[in-house]
Every structure is written in C-alpha cells, then in structure tokens.
Structure 1
Amino acid sequence: MSDMSHLVCPHCQAVNRVPTDRLAASPTCGQCHQPLFTGHPLAVDEAGFQKHITRNDIPVLVDFWATWCGPCQMMAPHFTQAAAQLEPRVRLLKVDTDAEQALGNRYAIRSIPTLALFRRGREVARQAGAMQAAGIVQWVRAQGA
C-alpha cells in the first residue's frame, strides 16, 4: 500500500497526491486551494463520474437517483449525513439517472435509489433501496471501506 493517495478535487477535478496519513487533516487542492473533502456528496456528470471512480485511491460510493423518485428524495439527507461520517475514507457521489441515462444503462440500474461502491474503477458492491444514514455507513463499512 502506497503512503500517498490520489484524490480528485470536488471543485476543479484536479488529481492531488496526499499522504495517506494526512487524509483526515483537511487537505486542500494544490490547484484551486479548496478543501478536498466537503462533508457532502458531489453531484457529477458522466465525465466527473469517470474521473472520480478511476482516479481516486479511496473507495467511491455512488447514489444513483432521480428527482421524481420519492424514496430517493427521502434518502437524500441521509446520504448527506453518511458523507459527513464516511469522509475522508470514502468519496460520495450522486448521479441523476435522468440526466445521465448512459451511466444508468451502463451499470444496469433497474431501480432507484441504488448505491454502488467502486474501488479503482470497478464496482465491488451494490445495494438497492432507500436507507437511513446509519444503514448506509454500516453497509459501506461492511464492504471493507
């Protein structure tokens, strides 16, 4: 395991190298100087999704959702609460499957909300259905993240 971690900036998408033991020390982006962790999920388009799942060395948890989905709306504040608990060990993203239909199709998202956990560009776990913050955190940690 490297003692440096690559992290994609949630603000400018620059890839940063951060000492792994300094992830919890509120690191900032070397390019835009904004915090690398915000305590909130990051809404991404297809390009942002690809960059985050392939260039982050930490696991990436993705919420596939849609604006018209009642359970998705109910889960949204819980996903945000989970982000505050899981960062800096996990990056949390949100993908609107209506706006990013190609991603929904590529990952065969059949029901929403669906959580998918990625490591180094590969999906390693999936969970469909709305969850509360504690359940999200527990599920992610059960996957070794």
Structure 2
Amino acid sequence: MKLKNLILAITTIGFLSSGCSTIQEIVGDGNTLIAGPCADLTIDEAFFLHEEAKSGFAKYLNTREDHLLFDAFYTASDSRSVAQSVSQCWDRRVSHYNAMKNLEELNNDLARILIRNMPDEDPGQMVSVYRDKYTRLMHR
C-alpha cells in the first residue's frame, strides 16, 4: 500500500514537472510585454475610412444608387468613431489630437453633404402635411 502511494506520488510529481516545463516553453522566459503603436494606427485607420466614405459618395454620384449613399454615411460615422478612440491610446501626442479634431470636422462636413443628398423617407408624407394644412380652405 505504501509502495503504491509512493509510486503514485512520484508519477504525479513527474507529470506535473513535465507539464510545467512545457508551459514554460510556451510562455517563454521574458515576462515583459511590449505594447505596439496605437495612436498612429488608429489615425491611419480613421483616414482610410474617411477616404472610403468619400469614394463611396463619388460612386453614388456616378450611379445614383441609394445604398452607396447610406454606406458612405455609415463609413464616415465609423471614421469619426475610430478617430475619437485615439484618446484611449497610450502613445497619443498633440499631433494625434489635432488629427482627431481635423477628422471629426471633415467627417461632420461629409455627413452633412451626404444627408442633403439622401432621399426623402416618403414623398407622400409631405403631400399629406400640406393637404391637412389646407383642408379648411379647400372643401371637397
């Protein structure tokens, strides 16, 4: 009985020590974490999305397909959101803040242009508003 417990204990210790050495190989010796650049990549992604929104608007002007206009609008809002997320980066500088503000302004202007070109929800709704307004004057 004692021999079985001794063999079991030795086997368990051997198993655990081999498992720990495998984990050490996977993890590695250095426990230092190196944070990569964040702010530059974030601003680059925001500029890329802004350019995508502008090209989407240009495609809309060529084809007049409404889905391209809505896609450009959502891409511009994504660009604004990505630009605002640069404030969470650890390596941000004043230049990143200025780029974020410029991108917000560019995307807001682009969104205003896109909204002006969006189709009305229901043109019949406008007619009904005018009809209700003038019912007292025009009896049927």
Normalised-by-shorter TM-score class: under 0.3
Higher strand residue share: 1
Structure with a larger share of its residues in helix: 2
- TM-score, normalised on structure 1? 0.21
| Structure whose CA Rg is larger | 2
